[in-house]
Structure 1
């Protein structure tokens, strides 16, 4: 056989190889690998039927794992919930409680009992406030980590983050996560990823639990102490302070000024429906100070709709709590906060906000419509269980009340009125020009310095 003949036979073989596309070559390689694996399994004593069963089991396991956070979000978007709740078109993009609850049945079987209990507390508003929700969440995460068992053929650093994601996704069904909770979750997942693969599960759990304890102490307890010490300089003897709702750090501030600094001041607590958080502030102050409360603090309780200009004339300073501080210097807080800040600004009353750095967010928001939380509109409707006040009964008259009975309560049949929508939003946005100072653990700073604090927080 001459060299010319060999070359002539080699050329068609080369052209045949060139004809095969990349996809076809990949398929050939896959088939060859599959054939090798099948041959190895047959050699080890596994029949083709057993191989099929093993493959089917793997497919089923993959299907079970598909109930992750991303898939649940897709399910939420696809679900069509039949409800007669009416939401204005302007707020139609916000998620309702029913839409959040749509995800809970699919993953409830893998959720820790402590998470189930906490979700119920969130949804019933027995745990309110971003700091209280954050503290409770981290303490429950400690229980989840302690009871966690790493499955076979996986490591704690890889599997625990996914396991926590399921718990967090169920937690969202009660109420959306606050900014402080989101920051803490990102921190915890980063700490899990830093744990070495060689570390035993027991040791890794101990490390994570101790880090959670340190986080609570540093970012909540010590931060609040520094804020209280800094803010107390703005309260003097005989001054009149106005606050809105309830904030944990403000409660500690008023107790500190009364107990440790022996300051006597007037406190005007402004409150609003439906949560009436100002009442919890009064209860907690009376518990902390007891019989000495009247000796130090003179409390005036006012509803937001009856806050008149005569009350604001005597106010020396306004202290506000915060749900979050956005990077453009705007305050995201309980609805009604913006109105108090604006009213105080027009009367040249200084407005101070006490906020921990854990509540600072990179987000930028210009209004309270794009991102907010929708609560149940029924909370704003007068229910049968709620008794009318004595003054209201006297104003209405007993005869009229007997005629109307309890069935004719105002807005009882509001759903039947097509043109009427009842909206219960949780938060509003206060522009930075209405806030004089933000008191953090890093000091008292203007709202324009929020990006600086965010940068410092990230570096630490």
Structure 2
């Protein structure tokens, strides 16, 4: 009896443990547990869909559509990677080690041929104009980009099984990536692109494509009018009182808002003053400002001399005849004698950073420091669209590298450099190589004559210790800037974060 009592309680827990092991999946691995949970969830979803009236065939179609969407997203990301990883390798190109982290023109132009069918023709045309410097200036580039985006949106067609608010942002991203291959985006262009993508995301799914396109095009027109045209008018009104009768104004390079300011002061306010235009090699943007001022005419209603000339059927006089006296000087010749009579200096801006630094065309910092040393007030005219959250303490960490050949070609001429495109240069090299092989060898006397006549910098790549650097922008500390004139008023550089908050809230 004692043996049966001791054996009976041992058999019961063994049977219980076997039953529990069979009922609970404790011995399954984590991977098998996840698969079981997925199957249970899929079964529940299928039961719910069948209860809602969706057949299994329709469920398979929906699942296939989701797989196609994932494949499309994967191809889009692969295209972006191809654009970012496409690098043009040129062993002859030499860059100083301090600026070796910046992209060269060849690296920007090297883009994958697989995206050529996606890029809009207007984007191709605009990228060529950017790379050849036919469109210069932050405001001009922003306006041209927004105008081209209007034609891209107008010609856009939403693919099947997608919506405009989801697919159009990816389509625009391809156009933007191709624009980056010509030149890096400016701060104003980046702000405008973020605004446009936000506007696209706010479009309702129920809105038809035609209505959505019309709404986007009209909102782009409103953006250009408010953020560029009206902002420039307010900046001109806020800064015009700094130019008085008979004063001397100094400016550097070319700025669209400063051109409008000088025209407004002469044509509308009838002020006569002196203007000193400081220019630099190799772009010579100051010549563009001079040509625009010389082409500005005074109509018959604005001057008595013009009314007399109109009676005699003579052309209207330019503002440079009596009202505006212009002096043109290169930055390397800017001396203390030129700055003696200067009363105020106006500078354009590519961007204003959140720490109050001015990011503008290279040479701006030197002009601002020279004016500050002689107690000449320095004013910067900048729209709020050009303000950035970025903090930068030098012009080395982030900048744009231009082609060093621009500093060498046409160095003795007065014309700005006419740069060739990368594809054209490669084609010309291929055509020149067989021609060089077939050409007969010249005598040693002719070689010596040619070497005497040519410049040393023509073969600068063969000199191992010679590097040529051509950067586009520099950084001006806020201590050299008295005021930043915006559409919100005249503020010190330390108030840039306040303007950023106002811009974001609007």
Is the Cα contact below 8 Å between 1:108 and 1:170 reproduced in 2?
no
Shift in Å at residue 65 of structure 1? Answer: 3.0
User: 1:260 matched to which residue of 2?
Assistant: 268
Larger radius of gyration: 2
User: Paired residue for 1:422, among 468, 486, 500?
Assistant: 468
Matching of residue 196 in structure 1 with residue 204 in structure 2: yes
Aligned match of 1:75: 85
Residue 294 of structure 1, CA deviation: 1.8
Indicate conservation of the 8 Å contact 2:296/2:319, yes or no: no
For residues 54 and 367 of structure 1, the distance between their equivalents in structure 2, rounded to whole angstroms, comes to 50
Q: 1:111 to 1:407 in 2, by over 3 A?
A: farther
1:381 aligns with 2:408: yes
Cα offset for 1:18?
1.4
Question: Residue 459 of structure 1 aligns with which residue?
Answer: 505
Whether the 8 Å CA contact 1:323–1:332 is kept in 2: the answer is yes
Deviation track 1:234-288 (CA, whole Å, cap 9, x = no partner) reads 0011111110000000000000001001100111100001110000001111112
Provide the residue aligned with 1:216 in structure 2: 224
User: Over aligned residue pairs, what C-alpha RMSD do you find?
Assistant: 3.1
Relative to structure 1, is the Cα distance of residues 338 and 422 closer, same or farther in structure 2, using a 3 angstrom cutoff?
same
Distance 1:61 1:156 in 2: 15
Distance 1:350 1:179 in 2: 26
Alignment of 1:182-331 (within 5 A): 182-289=190-297, 290-331=317-358
TM-score by length of 1: 0.87
Q: What is the distance in 2 between the residues matched to 1:313 and 1:404?
A: 46
Match of 2:8 in 1: none
- Per-residue deviation, 1:20: 1.8
> Matched residues in 1 for 2:166 and 2:278: separation?
48
Partner of 2:390: 363
Structure 1 runs, 4 residues or longer, greater than 4 Å off: 3-9, 28-34, 53-63, 386-389, 402-407
Deviations 1:373-425 (A, max 9, x none): 000000000349x6589xxxxxxxxxxxx966895124101000010000000
- CA gap 1:252/1:388 in 2 versus in 1, 3 angstroms: closer
Aligned to 1:136: 144
- In structure 2, the gaps of 5 or more residues are 1-11, 51-55, 59-63, 298-316, 416-447
> How far apart are the structure 2 equivalents of 1:371 and 1:119?
21
Counterpart check, 1:439 vs 2:449: no
- C-alpha separation in 1, matches of 2:116 and 2:29: 47
Instruction: Report the Cα offset of residue 59 of structure 1.
Output: 8.6
Closer, same or farther in 2 for the Cα pair 1:439/1:56, shift >3 Å?
Answer: closer
Q: Partner of 2:221: helix, strand, or coil?
A: helix
Match of 1:65 among 67, 70, 76: 76
- 1:20 and 2:28 equivalent? yes
Deviations 1:324-346 (A, max 9, x none): 00011000000000000000000
SS state of the match for residue 286, structure 2?
helix
Alpha-carbon distance in 2 for matches of 1:256, 1:216: 20
Q: CA deviation at 1:62?
A: 5.9
Q: How does 1:163-182 map to 2 (within 5 A)?
A: 163-182=171-190
Cα deviation code 1:189-240 (max 9, x no counterpart) = 1111111111111111111111000000000000000001111100011111
Is there any run of 5+ residues in structure 1 with no aligned partner, and where?
Answer: 46-52, 390-401
User: How many residues end up aligned between the 2 structures?
Assistant: 433
Give 1:67 deviation, angstroms: 3.2
Alignment check: 8 A CA contact 1:316 1:349 kept: yes
Match for residue 397 of structure 1? none
Separation (CA, whole Å) in 2 of partners of 1:136 and 1:55 = 37
SS at match of 2:244: coil
SS at the partner of 1:242?
Answer: strand
- Report SS of the residue matched to 2:296: helix
SS state at 1:177 partner: coil
| Counterpart position of 2:100 | 92
